[in-house]
């Protein structure tokens, strides 16, 4: 089996490689990156496992691919740092995928993601694309214009939430009733043999010591009656979450690796230590089986080996969330096998959550439109940007700082 990683010079590629070595299913791994220097730095860290080739030629990389992991970062971490910096200068949230920062990142990424999707459709129409690239929901939606059901977006946050909740409940084999958009979802029920165990969990503060419990607090979780994705913190505690500089921090840290002054493992350990602690509270729980690479591998197996399983994925809505149209990419539990993923039915979201999902999806769609006017509307209509004149100024500032946004002017 031939697997291609786009963004093959990315810092996390050794983690994917390690998972592949343990797994043994992939015999040929192709790393593609637009930056040959980063590619070589990562290539040099990899030991054992599948035959690895590295190339900066997209066509060569894609030929004969069975699976493509798309994990690119348009503008790099320097771009992420600018996304944060500009937003903060305007007094609004600048997170990687949420608010003004997420819009700027989406505007940079969509044209590139579309171009890649077109190339995959031409060169490797048989391939399944697993999209890791953020903002994952809207990037997957852009790619689906060319790839339809053959592109699937993934994230580690819902699976992490479900794992932590299962652990707190001591439950195995539970069904997770989770729905929303990427980084904007809620766990509404946890059923074992048809019985919902979530009320029991919410009633017991002792059991809520895990990441989301600490982040939101037992009282708020009880009031909601469900457990939000960790990223809802940016909506429920916008003021408190303001001002993180994760992009600038990671940029400094990774520069030291790519210029050869610090080794990969040391850099990784340092990053782990700051996980979540940096611009959010607490540390990431390190329960077994987490991480993007494991979600991606589980998905790849389900498809390649026709091993039917249930995973929370970013796929076209169909009729799953009634307030969104069928082509909207949503994040919901799916049954997956060789035919690909099919969304499973979920409980309807309460109005406040459905409203947020509808607003943010409308903003995503404006980002996808790709015009200057639509970009202005995206900033202005985002629930975390509080003024049209601030939106106008954000757009101007991002246009002047990000050369990739030239297509908008």
183 carries a ligand binding annotation: yes
Residue 155 binds to Mn ion (criterion: CB under 5 A): yes
Catalytic-labelled residue, pool 156, 196, 285, 337: 156
Report how far residue 380's alpha carbon sits from residue 67's, in angstroms, rounded to the nearest whole number. Answer: 38
Among 70, 131, 133, 134, binds ligand G6P (CB under 6 A): 134
Q: Catalytic site residue 258?
A: no
155 carries a ligand binding annotation: yes
Give DSSP secondary structure letters for 83-113: HHHHHHHTTS---SSSHHHHHHHHHHHHHHH
- Strands 28-32, 51-55: pairing is parallel
- Binding segment (CB under 6 A) for ligand G6P, from list 29-37, 120-128, 149-157, 377-385: 149-157
Please state the closest distance from residue 352 (CB atom) to ligand G6P, in A: 23
Handedness of CA 257, 300, 341, 197 (dihedral sign): negative
Burial of residue 296 (CB within 10 Å: 0-12, 13-18, 19+) is buried
Report how far residue 379's alpha carbon sits from residue 373's, in angstroms, rounded to the nearest whole number. Answer: 10
162 carries a ligand binding annotation: no
Among 155, 197, 224, 328, binds ligand G6P (CB under 6 A): 155
Q: Residue 155 or residue 405: which is nearer to ligand G6P going by CB?
A: 155
Q: Residue 65 or residue 176: which is nearer to ligand G6P going by CB?
A: 176
Q: Residue 124 or residue 155: which is nearer to Mn ion going by CB?
A: 155
Among Mn ion, ligand G6P, none, the one that 212 touches (CB under a kind-dependent 5 to 8 A) is none
- 262 to 301: interface string for ligand G6P, x by CB under 6 A: ---------x------------------------------
Q: Catalytic site residue 156?
A: yes
Helices (H), 129-287: 136-147, 157-169, 198-202, 211-216, 218-224, 233-236, 238-241, 246-258, 264-274
φ, ψ dihedrals at 343, nearest 5° = -60, 140
Report how far residue 385's alpha carbon sits from residue 194's, in angstroms, rounded to the nearest whole number. Answer: 41
Among 32, 163, 246, 316, binds ligand G6P (CB under 6 A): 246
Residues 6+ apart with CB under 8 A from 30: 2, 3, 4, 5, 8, 52, 53, 54, 55, 61, 65
Compute the residue count for the chain.
Answer: 409
Catalytic-labelled residue, pool 105, 178, 231, 398: 231
Q: Residue 271 or residue 323: which is nearer to ligand G6P going by CB?
A: 271
134 carries a ligand binding annotation: yes
Among 95, 140, 157, 317, binds ligand G6P (CB under 6 A): 157
Q: Residue 267 or residue 377: which is nearer to ligand G6P going by CB?
A: 267
Give DSSP secondary structure letters for 199-237: HHHHT-GGGG-SHHHHHH-HHHHHHHTSEE-GGGHHHHT
Among Mn ion, ligand G6P, none, the one that 207 touches (CB under a kind-dependent 5 to 8 A) is none
- Annotated binding-site residues for Mn(2+) read 155, 183
Residues contributing to the site for ligand G6P (CB under 6 A): 96, 134, 155-157, 246, 250, 271
Active site positions, annotated: 156, 231
């Amino acid at each position: 089996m031939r697997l291609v990683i786009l963004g093959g010079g990315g810092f996390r590629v050794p983690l994917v490689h390690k998972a592949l070595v343990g797994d043994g299913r992939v015999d040929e791994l192709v790393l593609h990156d637009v930056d040959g220097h980063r590619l070589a730095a990562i290539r040099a860290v990899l030991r054992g496992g599948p035959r690895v080739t590295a190339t900066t030629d997209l066509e060569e990389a894609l030929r004969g691919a069975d699976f493509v992991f798309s994990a690119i970062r348009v503008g790099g971490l320097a771009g992420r740092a600018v996304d944060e910096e500009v937003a903060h200068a305007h007094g609004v949230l600048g997170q990687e995928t949420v608010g003004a920062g997420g819009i700027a990142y989406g505007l940079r990424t969509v044209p590139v993601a579309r171009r890649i999707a077109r190339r995959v459709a031409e060169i490797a129409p048989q391939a399944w694309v697993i999209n890791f690239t953020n903002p994952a929901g809207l990037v997957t939606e852009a790619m689906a214009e060319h790839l339809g059901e053959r592109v699937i977006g993934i994230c580690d946050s819902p699976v992490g939430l479900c794992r932590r909740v299962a652990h707190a409940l001591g439950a195995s084999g539970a069904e997770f009733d989770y729905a929303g958009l990427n980084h904007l979802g809620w766990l509404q029920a946890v059923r074992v043999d048809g019985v919902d165990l979530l009320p029991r969990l919410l009633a017991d503060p002792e059991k809520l010591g895990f990441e989301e419990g600490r982040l939101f607090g037992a009282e708020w979780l009880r009031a909601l009656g469900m457990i939000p994705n960790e990223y809802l913190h940016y909506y429920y505690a916008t003021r408190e979450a303001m001002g993180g500089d994760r992009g600038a921090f990671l940029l400094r840290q990774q520069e030291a690796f790519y210029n050869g002054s610090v080794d990969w493992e040391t850099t990784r350990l340092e990053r782990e230590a700051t996980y979540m602690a940096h611009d959010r509270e607490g540390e990431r729980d390190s329960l077994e089986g987490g991480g993007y690479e494991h979600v991606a591998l589980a998905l790849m197996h389900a498809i390649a080996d026709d091993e039917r399983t249930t995973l929370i994925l970013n796929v076209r809505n169909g009729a799953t969330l009634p307030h969104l149209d069928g082509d909207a990419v949503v994040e919901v539990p799916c049954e997956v096998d060789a035919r690909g993923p099919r969304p499973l039915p979920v409980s309807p979201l309460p109005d406040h959550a459905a409203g947020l999902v509808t607003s943010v999806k409308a903003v995503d769609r404006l980002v996808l439109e790709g015009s200057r006017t639509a970009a202005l509307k995206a900033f202005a209509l985002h629930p975390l940007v509080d003024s049209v004149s601030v939106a106008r100024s954000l757009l101007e500032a991002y246009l002047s700082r990000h050369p990739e946004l030239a297509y908008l002017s």
